[in-house]
Structure 1
Amino acid sequence: MLRGLCVCLVLLVPALGQASTIANALPDAELRGEAVFRLFGFPLYKARLYTQTGAPLNWDQEFAIELTYMRDLSGKDLSENTMRELERIGGAIPIGDRLDQCFADVRRGDRFVAVSQGPNRIGFWLNGAPTCTLRHPQIKTRFMAIFLGENTRSRTFTRNLKGE
């Protein structure tokens, strides 16, 4: 029985870490919407949007996106794909080296959290541990538009993530 309890506690710790990451970074945050992103029919990650009090997305307020990976991916792939998406939706920005430092390899079940911290800064956490903070003019709208903008890869995904 004690062994079973220990296993349950070990399984709960990552989830509690994620909840506290968002709660600490955005004290009034509540889940607004969620969606699964698929590429060629294969699920890559489940995304969740947290806004203040669960209100509709307001780009002038702080919010967080949590990605729970459904596949193993390298940090290099995450960085390169992010740079391609940034270029596709609005032109390249010189943050590739920083992304390489921010993004680590992920395994199925790992969770990245990105929390906006004003218009020019985003904090990143992997499984509850801080990985980096990106600073760049308008990084909030540039980076978060990959998931929430008008020109995302999937309008259905974006609508569901926004809770619409």
Structure 2
Amino acid sequence: MAFLGTTRPSLWRPNKGILRAALLAAALLAPSGVMASPVTDELKDAQLRGSATFRYLGLPIYDAKLYTPGGAPFSWSEDIGLQLTYRKNFKKKALVNSTLDEMDRIGRSAPVRNQLDQCFKAVTKGDSFLAVSDGPDKVSFWLNGQKTCTMSYPGIKRSFMSVFLGDNTRSASFTQKLQGR
């Protein structure tokens, strides 16, 4: 047994570099509600209401999270935060055009191409856009925590957010999960 006593301590020696890397990874992977973010700064008592993954032809395109004040049920009369975390790379032009196409398709078009051009940037896998409404006529956008712009237009909150949360979205089950139903 003396043999075990002399060899056992040398089997595992803590590596401080690995320990630091593990702690950093845990901090980066912590739930978004734990760390400060624009949604908690911009939306009073923001709490996660629902989440869903949007798929096209079975392929995951983005993960979405809906934040409401106090985690209350979704309501157009309340300000909301919508976060999209992309699973694919997309060019800015594709994001702008697809958003405008969807707004047209659901009957909520608005002449905001120039504003979307300023707000949207190209995204790569893992990038997150956050949109937070401020009343019915303003929506502010952040890309990976950095504010990109504020869009202003009569009814822009409903026009833009209806692409994800409206009655005529591309996927009713996605919208229901996102709304926490």
TM-score (norm. length: structure 2): 0.83
Q: Superposed, which structure 2 residues align to 1:124-143 within 5 Å?
A: 124-143=141-160
Moved more, 89-98 or 112-121: 89-98
Runs of 4+ in 1 over 6 A off after TM superposition: none
Partner of residue 28 from structure 2, selected from 4, 8, 12? 12
Q: Deviations over 1:105-156 (max 9, x none)?
A: 1111111000001100000000000001000000001110100100000000
2:105 is equivalent to residue 81 of structure 1: no
CA RMSD in angstroms, aligned pairs only: 2.1
Structure 1 pair 60–77 and aligned structure 2 pair: CA distance change class (3 A)? same
Moved more, 113-122 or 94-103: 94-103
Q: What residue is the counterpart of 1:46 in the other structure? A: 63
Q: What residue is the counterpart of 1:34 in the other structure? A: 51
Q: Deviations over 1:47-104 (max 9, x none)?
A: 0000011010111111100001010111111000000011111153211111111111
Per-residue deviation at 1:2?
Answer: 4.0
Give yes or no for contact 1:18–1:127 (8 Å, CA) kept in 2.
no
TM-score (norm. length: structure 1): 0.92
Report how many residues are paired.
164
Q: Identity, % of aligned pairs?
A: 45
Structure 1 pair 92–63 and aligned structure 2 pair: CA distance change class (3 A)? closer
Q: What residue is the counterpart of 1:150 in the other structure? A: 167
Q: Deviations over 1:26-54 (max 9, x none)?
A: 13010000000001111100000000110
The residue identity in structure 2 corresponding to 1:60 is S
Give yes or no for contact 1:17–1:127 (8 Å, CA) kept in 2.
no
Q: What residue is the counterpart of 1:115 in the other structure? A: 132
Structure 1 pair 27–34 and aligned structure 2 pair: CA distance change class (3 A)? same
Relative contact order: is structure 1 or structure 2 higher (C-alpha 8 Å, sep ≥ 6)?
A: 1
Larger of the two Rg values belongs to structure: 2
State the distance in 2 between where 1:130 and 1:157 align.
26
State the distance in 2 between where 1:102 and 1:2 align.
40
Name structure 2 gaps, 5 residues minimum.
1-15
State the distance in 2 between where 1:72 and 1:17 align.
27
Name structure 1 gaps, 5 residues minimum.
none
